[in-house]
């Protein structure tokens, strides 16, 4: 797989000739470096500056699609003209509506997990209203093992209603009714101008369906080499900032 910054010639013509660019960006681990706790993550100032410039270009539309709640990610991006979507693209101006049974299963799974992990140091749960996450950054290996076992139990018990995605030191548990980032990207591309070029940059397992949804465009996965559906790689969020600066130079 090629590094996007080193293979820029392979994309430059497409960026210049596209009628419009639909730029989709993940937040944590992509725009913002990962931190021990999600509340510590912030958008680096140079990235905010380039997003501000890009958001003013009439040919560019920018979406930040995060697993966070919408208000949370909007507050952290805070760039006029950049639309932030929460809960993997499904929270936009209100929580998505879910079936009563799904909500009941979500609540049951959450309390079952909390009970199983009671007292395991370094693990903590984050309630996102229509989903929840189990964080294990900095946890002892024994606590990590307990978390892994508990998550597998959850998959078995609640797999009909809930899906579990493993990320970087985090498991995200969400209703199957929330269809994830790939469907969210597809939905927005349906409303894009013809000749629009999608660009998707993300770092996580939850971004993989979105790479597939934007595979006719330019896709890049951030972080260490691993199996991915993205066509290019970027090493870290500061390279994402540099890629956005290069992109800014290509769209007058
Ligand atoms: Mg991420």
- What pLDDT does 52 receive? 98
Residue 65 Cα, ligand 1 centroid: separation in angstroms? 9
Question: Of the given ranges (92-96, 122-126, 177-181), which has the lowest mean pLDDT?
Answer: 92-96
Residue 3 Cα, ligand 1 centroid: separation in angstroms? 18
- What pLDDT does 169 receive? 84
| Residue 248 reports pLDDT greater than 80 | yes
Tell me the pLDDT band of 94, cut-offs 50, 70 and 90. Answer: confident
Residue 210 Cα, ligand 1 centroid: separation in angstroms? 12
Mean pLDDT of 99-114: 95
Q: Where are the alpha helices (DSSP H) in 203-236?
A: 208-213
Q: 2-94+179-250, what's its fold?
A: Rossmann fold (3.40.50)
The burial of 236, by beta-carbon neighbours within 10 Å (0-12 exposed, 13-18 middle, 19 or more buried), is given as: middle
Round to whole Å and give the CA distance between 122 and 217.
Answer: 40
Taking the domains of the chain in order of start, what are their residue ranges? 2-94+179-250, 100-175
For ligand 1, an ion, list residues with CB under 5 A.
26, 28-29, 203-204
| Residue 146 reports pLDDT greater than 80 | yes
Residue 70 Cα, ligand 1 centroid: separation in angstroms? 14
Report residue 23 as tokens: 């730029």
**Buried/exposed 75-89: b ≥16 CB within 10 Å, e otherwise:** ebbebeebbbbbbbb
Q: Which residue has the higher pLDDT, 188 or 96?
A: 188
Assign domain 100-175 to its CATH superfamily.
Answer: Trehalose-6-phosphate phosphatase related protein; domain 2 (3.30.70.1020)
Mean pLDDT of 35-44: 92
Query: What's the whole-number average pLDDT of the chain?
Result: 93
Mean pLDDT of 29-58: 95
Round to whole Å and give the CA distance between 35 and 117.
Answer: 22
| Positions marked catalytic | 26
| Residue 55 reports pLDDT greater than 80 | yes
| Residue 158 reports pLDDT greater than 80 | yes
- What pLDDT does 226 receive? 85
Mean pLDDT of 28-39: 93
Residue 29 Cα, ligand 1 centroid: separation in angstroms? 5
């Amino acid at each position: 797989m090629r590094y996007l910054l080193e293979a820029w010639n392979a994309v430059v013509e497409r960026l210049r000739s596209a009628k419009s660019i639909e730029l989709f960006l993940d937040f944590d681990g992509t725009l913002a470096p990962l931190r021990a706790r999600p509340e510590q993550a912030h958008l680096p100032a140079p990235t905010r500056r380039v997003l501000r410039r890009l958001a003013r270009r009439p040919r560019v539309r920018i979406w930040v699609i995060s697993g966070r709640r919408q208000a949370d990610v909007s507050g952290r991006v805070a760039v006029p003209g950049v639309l932030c979507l929460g809960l993997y693209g499904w929270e936009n101006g209100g929580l998505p509506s879910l079936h009563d049974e799904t909500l009941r299963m979500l609540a049951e799974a959450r309390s079952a997990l909390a009970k199983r992990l009671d007292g395991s140091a370094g693990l903590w749960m984050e309630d996102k209203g229509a989903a929840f996450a189990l964080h294990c950054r900095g946890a002892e290996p024994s606590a990590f093992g307990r978390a892994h076992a508990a998550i597998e139990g959850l998959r078995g018990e609640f797999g009909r209603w809930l899906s579990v995605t493993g990320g970087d030191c985090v498991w995200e548990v969400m209703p199957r009714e929330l269809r994830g980032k790939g469907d969210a990207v597809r939905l927005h591309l349906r409303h894009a101008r013809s000749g629009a070029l999608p660009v998707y940059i993300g770092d996580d397992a939850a971004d993989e369906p979105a790479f597939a949804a934007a595979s006719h465009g330019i896709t890049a996965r951030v972080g260490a080499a691993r199996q991915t559906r993205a066509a290019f790689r970027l090493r870290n969020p500061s390279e994402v900032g540099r890629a956005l600066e290069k992109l800014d130079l290509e769209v007058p």
